Amino acid sequence: MNGAQALIRTLVGAGVDVCFANPGTSEMHFVAALDDVPEMRAVLTLFEGVATGAADGYARMAGGPAVTLLHLGPGMGNGLANLHNARRGKAPLLNVVGDHARSHKRLDAPLESDIDAVAGTVSTWVRRSLSPADVAADAAEAVAAIATGGIATLILPADVSWEDGAEVAEPMAARPLPHVAPSVVEDVASVVRSGDSVVLFLGGDVMAAADGQLAAAQVAAGTGARLVSETFPARAARGAGLPDLHRLPYPPEMAMAALEGTTHLVLAGTTAPVHFFGYPGVPGQPVPEGCSVHVLSLPGEDGVAAMQALASAVAPDATAEVAEFERPELPTGELTPRTMAAVIGALLPENAIVVDEALTSGVGLTEMTSAGPRHDWLSLTGGAIGDGLPMALGAAVACPDRPVIGIQADGSAMYTISALWSYAREQADIITIICDNGSYAILEHELQKVGAASDGERARKLLDLGGPGLDFVSIAQGMGVPASRATTAEELAEQLQKALAEPGPHLIDAVLR
């Protein structure tokens, strides 16, 4: 058995059976070995950033890793932005990166690069398999190392793939989520009982699980503590029967206002909030001066169990306040970000997965969907735009029985637009709504915030997507995805209803005013 065959069989044995791939010459023996291991599903992507973003979406919804197959250092470099998002979202993800044959490394071939250094920028575990006898054990260790979140990168020299002498390795026991010590829960309980202004700041597994949110709401009901979510939780359970959680706003001045007067900030499943960027005269964090920060649980710990223990300690008889089922009415007239949100809220199907990269066009989205049917919400965790389209692909592969709705800004869509081709090839049940405002609107806001405001034509041209405009209907149709254009709220509702009634991918270009 050669190294590639042993690697894939070991991964399948460890429960990793999906590979998002953009291979090259050094990975050909891995590709050939896929025919020997039909249990491994291989999904071709046309750009490495689609492969890594799809693996991120898959990991968030499946709760375990997918594999990416990337070509040498440049291929991994192409996928780095969405690996950054996966790292920030604590998604478990395994990269297999091909390398030159060991005898070829010393010749400094044109594609030679320091893969280990590139991988180290996003990976918690990096290993280079040095012989066919090593590769299966290395793979088993990689899967175990990222079971509770993190990125592993296994560098696979081409000759290690093609040479015989490899054997399948047994799966290694994954490390369980560490439990939070009872003393930590009691310390936080004393803070919550203090009667001061307390905010429970929720993220990670606490936001992903309904049980975590309900336990936090029980604490709030019994003590008067406020609940605030991370700005961009990796995965959030949402809908009727769950608490209507407010996210910490993205703009610094709004984030600071949201936490103003807080005496104690309790972290549950996340870390202390930090503004995405530094601005002249603005503090780097929204936490008020004099506010004490306390850790109930950090990412990688069992935050749900810690929150349930806290609820039992401070509010055993309290009843969580949850949202009653409610939908907005279907709007009419102009198609604006708010009417778009209302259409989505009015028609959101049960058990959907919403992938949110709407950016500035997302005004009203969380509000209009918060009390609707139960659904999961995936956010852009690391700020490296272009994750939305690939993430929807991964979510659809992980959950083929659930509808996926991607709400996608127009500018960032172009970063990974080739994901649409993979949608069509896989016949993934994904509806993409393009928020088409013809500009990098978020950068127009940032130009003002950083004090670099300019009325100059040259500056405006760097933020404008016109001249020529982007024809998303033609782009989608050219990659095999049925597409339409909506210019009013009524048209969007009609097109979304039609797309929901048909299997496979659809794109709606929502032209916003």
Total number of residues shown for the chain: 513
What integer pLDDT is reported at residue 463 of this predicted model?
73
Lay out the sheet containing 246-247: strands in order across: 246-247, 226-229, 198-202, 264-268, 292-297
Alpha-helical (H) ranges within 164-233 are: 182-192, 204-208, 210-223
- Tokens at 258, concatenated: 């949201």
- Tokens at 502, concatenated: 């048909």
For residue 361, give the amino acid letter: S
What is the mean pLDDT for each group of 10 consecutive residues in the chain (513 residues)?
A: 97 97 96 96 98 98 96 97 97 97 93 96 97 97 95 97 95 89 98 96 98 98 98 98 96 96 98 95 95 97 98 97 97 97 98 96 94 98 97 98 98 97 98 88 57 65 78 98 98 98 98 94
CATH numbers and ranges of domains, the chain: 3-162 (3.40.50.970), 182-314 (3.40.50.1220), 337-511 (3.40.50.970)
Whether 438 and 466 have beta carbons less than 8 Å apart is answered as yes
Task: Give the max Cα distance, the chain.
Answer: 71
Count of Cβ atoms closer than 10 Å to residue 222 Cβ: 18
What integer pLDDT is reported at residue 131 of this predicted model?
96
Determine if the pTM surpasses 0.85. Answer: yes
What integer pLDDT is reported at residue 408 of this predicted model?
98
Cis bond upstream, residue 288 (ω within 30): no
Q: Is 233 helix (H, G, I), strand (E, B) or coil?
A: coil
For residue 298, give the amino acid letter: L
In 3D, which of 180, 174, 201 has the Cα closest to residue 303?
Answer: 180
What integer pLDDT is reported at residue 292 of this predicted model?
97
- Measured CA to CA, the distance from residue 7 to residue 12 in angstroms comes to 9
Secondary structure string (H, E, C) spanning 6-19: HHHHHHHHCCCCEE
What integer pLDDT is reported at residue 467 of this predicted model?
73
Q: Is 462 helix (H, G, I), strand (E, B) or coil?
A: coil
Is the backbone of residue 255 left (phi > 0), alpha (psi -120 to 50) or beta? alpha
What integer pLDDT is reported at residue 454 of this predicted model?
59
- Measured CA to CA, the distance from residue 460 to residue 440 in angstroms comes to 10
- Measured CA to CA, the distance from residue 357 to residue 412 in angstroms comes to 8
- Measured CA to CA, the distance from residue 380 to residue 388 in angstroms comes to 7
In 3D, which of 219, 132, 201, 199 has the Cα closest to residue 169?
Answer: 132
What integer pLDDT is reported at residue 469 of this predicted model?
86
- Tokens at 51, concatenated: 């492969």
Whether 475 and 417 have beta carbons less than 8 Å apart is answered as yes
- Cα 457 from chain centroid? 36
What integer pLDDT is reported at residue 452 of this predicted model?
63
In 3D, which of 117, 63, 64 has the Cα closest to residue 94?
Answer: 64
